[in-house]
Structure 1
Amino acid sequence: MTESLEQNYDKAGYHAKQTHGVRPALVLVDFAQAYFDPDAPLYGGEGCVAARDHAIALADAARAAGILVIFTEVKYLRGGGDGGAFYAKVPALSCFDAGRDTQKLVDGLDVEDGDLMITKQYPSAFFGTSLAATLQFHKIDTLIIGGLTTSGCVRATCIDSISSGFVTLIAHEACGDRASGPHEANLFDMSAKYADLITTTDAVAYLQSCAVT
C-alpha cells in the first residue's frame, strides 16, 4: 500500500514545532507598491492586500511591545546595474528601480521611529545586507516573518533565517502571492523544514508576552 503524504512526512519528522525564543523581531519583507498596482507586472491581487492588513496589525503590536520592526525593500540603480543575474532573469524587477512609485513602500505601512529598513537587491533579506549583524547586536533569537511574495523573497529569507541560527516563524496571514498554488505550496514546505507557521492572533500574543519593560 502506498503511504500518504502525511504519513511520509510524519515518518521523516517534518513539521516539528520549535521552542520560541524570548527576544523576537518582526521582519516585513518587500511590501512594495509594485504588488498593489494593477498596472504593474508584479501585481499580486487580493492575497497581497490581505497580507498588508495583517502586517499592519503585527507592526502595531510589535511597536507597542517595544520589539524591533524591520522592513525590507528591493531597490536598484536605474537600469539594474547593481541587480546582477537576478535582474537579468526577471524583467519585472525594473519595478524596483530607484525613483519609481512601484518601488516605494505601500500605503498603510510606514517606517516609524525605532523601525529599520534593510535595502537589498536579491531575494533574501540576509544576502548582501547588514541584517544578520544587526540582529546579533540586538541579541535577537527569533524572527517573525511576513511579506511578499511567499514563494519568492519570504521563502528565501526564511531559509537564510534558520540557516543563520534564528528560530523562524512565518506569519502566514501576513504573507501573500499572486496565486494560491505557489503560496500554499511554499507555506507547506517552509512549515515542514524551516519554520513554524503562526497566525496573526498568536503572533500578537507572543509579541505581548515578550514585551520590553
Structure 2
Amino acid sequence: MASENDGKWSKTALVVIDMQKDFIVAGGPMLVKGGEAIVPNVIKTIEVARNRGIPIIWVVREHDSLGRDVELFRRHLYGNGKPKPTSKGSVGAELVDGLVIQEGDYKLVKTRFSAFFNTNLHSYLQGIGITNLVIIGVQTPNCIRQTVFDAVALDYQRVTVILDATAAATPDVHIECLSETTSPPSQGRANIFDMKNVGVATPTLEEWCQS
C-alpha cells in the first residue's frame, strides 16, 4: 500500500528522543514531570509518520551500569545502592508502554544530551537522503534543544519540533504556544523562543497532521 502523500515526505525523518521508563514513568529516577502527558501524542505522531512513509529513529540513553560513560555531574547517581538510571538492559531503559520499535526503524544510543554528539546519526541520515527532521520526546531544555541546535548547525533544511509531543519538567520550561507578538520571553520561555529564532518550525500535532 502506498503511504499517505507518497514522495512528499521522502526526505523527512522522525526523531523520537528518550521516551524511556526512567524518564516518563512516575517514580523514575530521571523523571520528567511533563513526559507522561505527551505519550498519547507521541504515539499519534509515530502513527502519522508511518502512514506518510517517514522513517522512525528511536534515540535512547543506555549507560554502563557503573556510570563510566555518564556526564560527570550525574555520576553520583550510579554509586552503590543507587538506581542506575537507563543502564543498559534495565527496565528503566525500555521504551514506555505503547511505543514499539518496528522492523525498518532505527535505534540509536546516545550518552549525552545531543543525539548527534559522538554518534553516527548524521552519517546515517545522509545515507538515507534525509534533509528534514521532525523531533519529539523529552526534555525540551536538554536533549531536544541540543539536538535541534546541532541539526541547525549541520544545515538540515527544515527542523520541526512538535510542541505538544515534546515536554519538560514544567510548562514554564516547555511553553506550549508562543504568539508572534510575544516580547522576548522569561527564562522559562526561552527554549522554544530560541529555537523559533533560528528558523525551527514549532507546530502543534494537529497542525503538523494537517500540513
Q: TM-score w.r.t. structure 1 length? A: 0.80
User: Which has the bigger relative contact order, CA under 8 A and spacing at least 6?
Assistant: 1
Write the distance in 2 (CA, Å) between the matches of 1:90 and 1:21: 41
1:190 is the counterpart of 2:195: yes
Quote the offset at 1:50 in angstroms: 2.6
Matches within 5 A, 1:51-70: 51-70=38-57
> Are 1:151 and 1:182, in contact at CA under 8 Å, matched by a contact in 2?
yes
Quote the offset at 1:42 in angstroms: 2.1
Aligned to 2:36: 49
CA RMSD in angstroms, aligned pairs only = 2.2
Q: TM-score w.r.t. structure 2 length? A: 0.80
Quote the offset at 1:90 in angstroms: 6.9
Write the distance in 2 (CA, Å) between the matches of 1:30 and 1:97: 13
Write the distance in 1 (CA, Å) between the matches of 2:201 and 2:83: 29
Write the distance in 2 (CA, Å) between the matches of 1:141 and 1:76: 29
Q: Percent identity of the aligned residues?
A: 26
Quote the offset at 1:74 in angstroms: 0.3
> Are 1:21 and 1:141, in contact at CA under 8 Å, matched by a contact in 2?
no
Between structures 1 and 2, the one with greater helix share: 1
1:110 is the counterpart of 2:110: no
Q: Deviations over 1:160-207 (max 9, x none)?
A: 11111112111111001111222122122212225110111232234x
The letter for the 2-side match of 1:203 is W
Aligned to 2:159: 168
Q: Which runs of 5 or more structure 2 residues have no equivalent in the other structure? A: 1-7, 176-188
Write the distance in 1 (CA, Å) between the matches of 2:42 and 2:75: 30
Aligned to 2:171: 180
Quote the offset at 1:51 in angstroms: 1.8
| Secondary structure at the counterpart of residue 140 of structure 1 | coil
> Are 2:10 and 2:53, in contact at CA under 8 Å, matched by a contact in 1?
no
Matches within 5 A, 1:84-163: 84-85=71-72, 87-88=74-75, 94-163=84-153
Write the distance in 2 (CA, Å) between the matches of 1:199 and 1:70: 20
Q: Which runs of 5 or more structure 1 residues have no equivalent in the other structure? A: 1-19, 207-213
Aligned to 1:40: 28
Q: 1:70 to 1:86 in 2, by over 3 A?
A: farther
| Secondary structure at the counterpart of residue 92 of structure 2 | helix
Q: Deviations over 1:109-168 (max 9, x none)?
A: 111111111101000011111110111011111101011011110111111111111121
Write the distance in 1 (CA, Å) between the matches of 2:21 and 2:161: 22
1:199 is the counterpart of 2:204: yes
Write the distance in 1 (CA, Å) between the matches of 2:39 and 2:66: 28
Write the distance in 2 (CA, Å) between the matches of 1:83 and 1:49: 24
Aligned to 1:30: 18
The letter for the 1-side match of 2:15 is V
Write the distance in 2 (CA, Å) between the matches of 1:86 and 1:204: 39
